[in-house]
């Protein structure tokens, strides 16, 4: 069973969460976890101005995803930062190149799931995840979120990401906040949860 995690990250938060999702998925026997990033669409000079050059070096070794790899996967988990309450343009661009696999129905009946990161606590995490759900539904995918059986979901003793829609982290306005233990646990839970569902679906 192949579980594909596809992410875009500018400053590293979504990448960190993607690694946690992968760790959770690997706990499930018989699951091959494949981690991929989507192509960058911004020119290097813009990334430099945004202060993203150094952060992106840390995950530059992760191969860029192709639509074919999407078609070959049994389950897909998407990670995207929030951009104005929506998925980022890089992820949108990637999906807009998947018309061929949409036509072939290559993702129909497979499980799909989404996690995110935003700068601020109420900056649109849920709408971002839902924006990706719309695309996954057009591909015929079955949506999995992050159920309340993940205990960390109900915490109010600290500021935390994660919702029934999917795992999330809050990067802070200047990007200095890193995913907390609770947020990382949510990401691992989501990875494992999706992998378990995919194993059942591919039996």
Find the residue with minimal CB distance to ligand FMN: 123
Q: How far apart are CA 11 and CA 33, in angstroms?
A: 23
Under rule CB under 6 A, residue 118 binds ligand FMN: yes
Give the DSSP per-residue string, 144-162: E---TTSGGGG--SS----
Q: Residue for token digits 């661009």?
A: 93
Under rule CB under 6 A, residue 166 binds ligand FMN: no
Pick the closer one to ligand FMN by CB: 110 or 124: 124
Among 2, 175, 177, 178, binds ligand FMN (CB under 6 A): 175
Q: Is 24 helix (H, G, I), strand (E, B) or coil?
A: helix
Confirm if 182 and 188 have CB atoms less than 8 A apart.
no
Under rule CB under 6 A, residue 115 binds ligand FMN: no
Under rule CB under 6 A, residue 11 binds ligand FMN: yes
Q: How far apart are CA 21 and CA 191, in angstroms?
A: 4
Q: How far apart are CA 139 and CA 148, in angstroms?
A: 26
Under rule CB under 6 A, residue 82 binds ligand FMN: yes
Under rule CB under 6 A, residue 152 binds ligand FMN: no
Site string for ligand FMN, 20-59 (x = CB under 6 A): ----------------------------------------
Residue 173's CB is within 10 A of a number of other CB atoms, namely 10
Pick the closer one to ligand FMN by CB: 18 or 75: 18
Sign of the dihedral through C-alpha 168, 124, 156, 143 = negative
Among 5, 75, 81, 183, binds ligand FMN (CB under 6 A): 81
Residues forming the site for ligand FMN (CB under 6 A):
9-14, 81-85, 117-120, 123-124, 171, 175
């Amino acid at each position: 069973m192949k579980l594909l995690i596809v992410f875009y990250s500018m400053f590293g938060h979504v990448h960190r969460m993607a690694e946690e999702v992968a760790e959770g998925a690997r706990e499930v026997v018989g699951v091959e976890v494949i981690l991929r990033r989507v192509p960058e669409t911004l020119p290097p000079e813009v990334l430099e101005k945004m202060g993203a050059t150094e952060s992106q070096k840390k995950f530059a070794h992760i191969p860029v995803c192709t639509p074919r790899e999407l078609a070959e996967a049994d389950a897909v988990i998407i990670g995207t930062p929030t951009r104005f309450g929506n998925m980022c343009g890089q992820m949108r661009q990637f999906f807009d190149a998947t018309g061929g696999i949409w036509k072939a129905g290559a993702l129909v009946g497979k499980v799909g799931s989404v996690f995110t990161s935003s700068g601020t606590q109420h900056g649109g995490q849920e709408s971002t995840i839902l924006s990706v759900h719309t695309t996954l539904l057009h591909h015929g995918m079955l949506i999995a979120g992050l159920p309340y059986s993940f205990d960390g979901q109900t915490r109010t003793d600290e500021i935390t990401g994660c919702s029934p829609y999917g795992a999330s982290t809050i990067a802070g306005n200047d990007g200095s906040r890193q995913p907390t233990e609770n947020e990382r646990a949510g990401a691992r839970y989501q990875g494992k949860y999706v992998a378990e569902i995919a194993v059942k679906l591919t039996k």
